[in-house]
Structure formats: C-alpha cells, structure tokens
Structure 1
C-alpha cells in the first residue's frame, strides 16, 4: 500500500529530527514509488530503472538537509527523480561528430548534406562569435554545458545564456522577424 503525502512528510521530518525508524520507513516507502515512477517512463529497461532508483535514493539521502519542511515531500522527491532521469538520458545519448558527417549522409541518400552544413555555418556566422561557438559545441558537437564552459574558459551560466540568446536570434531570423 502506498504511503500518503502526509505520512511521507511526517517520516521525512522525523528522519531529519533524528528518528531512524521514521527515516527507514520513509526509504522503504520510496523504493516502490520510485520503481513505479521510472518504470512508467523507461518501459522494459529494468536494469536502468533499478539504477535510477538507487541513484535517486542516494541523492535524496545526501540532499535531505535541503528539504523545506513546509513543502510537499513528494514534489521534492520527484524533482530529484526527474533530474536523475534527465542525467540518465544525457549519459545515454548518442552523438555523432560533425567531421565525416557528409559522407555518412551521402551514403544514406542525403546528397545535400554539404549544403545543409553550409547553411548551418552561414546561420551561425551571423551570430556573435561567443554565441556561435557555444552553439556549435553544445548543439552540434554534443558537448555538455560544463565541457563547453571549460573549453571556452567561461562559466556554465554564460554558456547557457549564450546558447539561449543565440538560438532565439536564429529562430527570429528563420521566421523572418530578424
């Protein structure tokens, strides 16, 4: 039987206050909830579901001090679970380097691969250099925000802002607004 929000919150607060029995009850109740949460989203990937349950349980444990006692526990716990799932998807994402892409696409019947790359290069060349660089790194080369930040010796926030602004500019131009 699934524990109610109130019961989970009581166990969490008890655990934060040093009640090990309450904290154990909370963790025991979380396992089936998280299995169900991940199982619905990763149909058939039983090993991944179990890995994500364990990763999320560890994250909940290590971040328990950040829980706001006045807020819903499940919202906090599921937010952590969502971030763990996003990290999982990012790690399992397959990227293809741009070098040699034309040959792959031509072999697959996409003869206009070279012109498509030229179009992308032309669009990016119209952006400020910093924006074009981080868009190439994160969206074309497949680098993470952290990797692009390290490569460019800038902060992750600066990478995110530059990518966002650059993509907005490109979207406006493609719509004919810019």
Structure 2
C-alpha cells in the first residue's frame, strides 16, 4: 500500500497530470504543499509564516511552469525537491543571506538530496504520521532536530519527565509497528 507522500504515489499523480488529468494534478499539488511546508519549516526556523507560504507558492508555480521538462523515467521526488532547493537558495540570496547560502545550504544540499535520503525522509514522515500530534512533535524536536529535552519541555509547557516518557512511548510504538511490518 502506498501513501499520498510516497515516491510511487507522487510520481503516479505527476504522470496522470502530464497526461491531462486535472484532478490528479490538484491532488499532487495538495500533497506537495504539505511536503514543502515541512521541508521549508525545517530549513527556515527564523522565517515568518508569510515568507514560508510565499516560498511554497513560488515552488508550486515553478513546478507548474517546468512540469513539461520532467523526465518520466526518473524519480519524481528528486526532481521536485531540486526545484524546492533552488527556490530556497534564491530566497536566502534575495534576503542578503549569500554567506548562509554558500556555506550551510551548500553543505546540506550535498547530503540531503540523494534519492535514498528523500525516500528515507518520506518513510520517517509516514511512520510519524501514525503517532499522536503531541508525540510526533516531541520526536521531531528532540530526536530529529536534536533539541534538548529541557528546551522542548519549556516550549511545550510539560515537565522534562513527561517529555521523556512521551518520547519513550512513541519510540516503543514505532518499534512495535516496524516489527509488525517486517
């Protein structure tokens, strides 16, 4: 079974859209919007909601204008996220963040955009979707973003013990789901 965010599902929607299926194109844009919000929020912590929304819209417009260049034999997500990456670089350059663009983004891009990395990220997102919103956010903050338990507890208004217990339970649930899926 494929989810709305898997390479297979997104590529299938793109191929249908290229063949003229408007409903598939709308579903594709909706799914990509969700992925872009997550993608940009992890990379633009200091951005305003309006800046992020503008960047999401610019990326979707770029997809629309470049969709005819998509090679049907290649993975769709790698192609799409390369567009998103360049939009992010343009955004930072437009804000005078040339140094940030050249150093941090340059290093991140090299490791972040292989097909395997993109597939792994989508797999992690699918796994996290099975958790409660509270557990999902705690896992993202502490385990994926590397924030401290103390900082996360302060931000969420919970005790450190409650954060640790919630993370432990979430990881246990993920482990059970993975063992059951094997």
TM-score by length of 1: 0.51
Instruction: Quote the offset at 1:3 in angstroms.
Output: 1.9
Structure 1 unpaired stretches of 5+:
96-178
Task: Determine the structure 2 residue equivalent to 1:138.
Answer: none
Partner deviation per Cα, 1:143-167 (whole Å, 9 max, x = no partner): xxxxxxxxxxxxxxxxxxxxxxxxx
Work out whether 1:28 is the aligned partner of 2:57: no
Tell me which stretches of 4 or more aligned residues in structure 1 moved more than 4 Å.
none
Larger Rg: 1
Task: Determine the structure 2 residue equivalent to 1:11.
Answer: 13
Task: Determine the structure 2 residue equivalent to 1:113.
Answer: none
Task: Determine the structure 2 residue equivalent to 1:79.
Answer: 82
Instruction: Quote the offset at 1:44 in angstroms.
Output: 3.6
CA distance in 1, matches of 2:97, 2:61: 26
Please show how residues 1-178 of structure 1 align to structure 2 within 5 Å.
2-45=4-47, 46-93=49-96
Task: Determine the structure 1 residue equivalent to 2:159.
Answer: none
CA distance in 1, matches of 2:14, 2:4: 15
CA distance in 2, matches of 1:70, 1:94: 36
Deviating more after overlay: 81-90 vs 38-47: 38-47
Instruction: Quote the offset at 1:2 in angstroms.
Output: 4.7
Structure having greater relative contact order (Cα 8 Å, sep ≥ 6): 2
Equivalent pairs counted in the alignment come to 95
Task: Determine the structure 2 residue equivalent to 1:129.
Answer: none
Structure 2 unpaired stretches of 5+:
99-182
CA distance in 2, matches of 1:54, 1:94: 21
Q: What is the RMSD of the two structures over their aligned residues, measured on CA atoms? A: 1.6
